[in-house]
Structure 1
Amino acid sequence: MTKYWTPVTERHLADMLRTAEQQMAPSLRQTWQLIRLPTPELWQQHPWGDEGCGFWVVAVFGKTCVYLNDISQGFNSSIFMSWGHIEDYQTRTDTLGSHLAGLFHSQPSVTSDID
């Protein structure tokens, strides 16, 4: 028996984002507020996203988008060359908070030489 992918609904995604935001540390929530899209957008990713009409992109910074891969049930990031098209298919199973923390808070901190 073949298991088919059922894309996440916009309502379910909104609930997921609301819950994730409530669980974020204040510093991560500030970063999230800066990069999040006002409304998630369905972006194309060929060929993996074709069956469900794409994946929900929830945030953008520079030429990177953060999206929910609802096939693997996790948040991922990818570069994009044009708005509306995810270049790289990723299969992480990260929560939104853990994915953002890995992107923004695992970098070595920069310290100032100014006292």
Structure 2
Amino acid sequence: MWPPISIDKIGLLILQAELTMDYKALNLWNLIKVTPHKWREKSFGDESGGFWVVALFGNQIIYYNDIEEGFNISPFEIYGVIDQYNCNQSELTVPINYLVSQLSQIPDKII
């Protein structure tokens, strides 16, 4: 088993990312971020007590996969359970910028 990342190290990764976010990313981040807390993930996460979830966006979460050492997006149906295991080795800014780009594709007016 790998050593799970500590809450202090998650906080440091978040702070480092916040310092590099542009205003759109930072605005979105401030709307969706949550106090990091562990969620279950049945494929690999149970070995370490789950993965740290850092943001909620509708039916999606951003979580830190400490096996691969990166942030990922996953859908969820049940609060507290990660539905989809992802193994990206991304900084936090990558999933945030992805969500910003998805939001920018929504038309201003829907008729």
Per the normalisation by structure 2, the TM-score is 0.89
More helix by percentage: 2
Root mean square deviation, CA, Å:
1.7
Equivalent residue number for residue 84 of structure 1? 80
Query: Structure 2: any 5+ residue segments left out of the alignment?
Result: none
Residues 52 and 88 (structure 1 numbering): CA distance in 2 closer, same or farther, change over 3 Å?
same
Q: Distance in 1 between matches of 2:43 and 2:89?
A: 19
Q: Does 1:10 align with 2:7?
A: yes
Counterpart among 49, 54, 58 of residue 50 in structure 2: 54
SS of alignment partner, residue 71 of structure 1: coil
CA distance in structure 2 between the aligned counterparts of 1:71 and 1:43, rounded to whole angstroms: 15
Alignment of 1:1-115 (within 5 A): 4-37=1-34, 39-105=35-101, 109-110=105-106
Cα offsets for 1:86-105 (capped at 9, x unmatched): 00000011110022112322
Query: Structure 1: how far apart are the matches of 2:57 and 2:102?
Result: 17
Query: Matched residues in 1 for 2:99 and 2:91: separation?
Result: 12
SS in 1 for 2:47: coil
**CA contact 2:71–2:92 (8 Å) conserved in 1:** yes
Identity %: 33
Superposition deviation, residue 35 in structure 1? 0.5
CA distance in 2, matches of 1:99, 1:112: 23
Q: Is the radius of gyration larger for structure 1 or structure 2?
A: 1
In the alignment, the residues of structure 2 paired with residue 46 and residue 111 of structure 1 have an alpha-carbon distance, to the nearest angstrom, of 37
Q: Alpha-carbon deviations, 1:29-82, whole Å to 9, x = none?
A: 000001001x11100000310111000000001110100011111110111111
TM-score by length of 1: 0.86
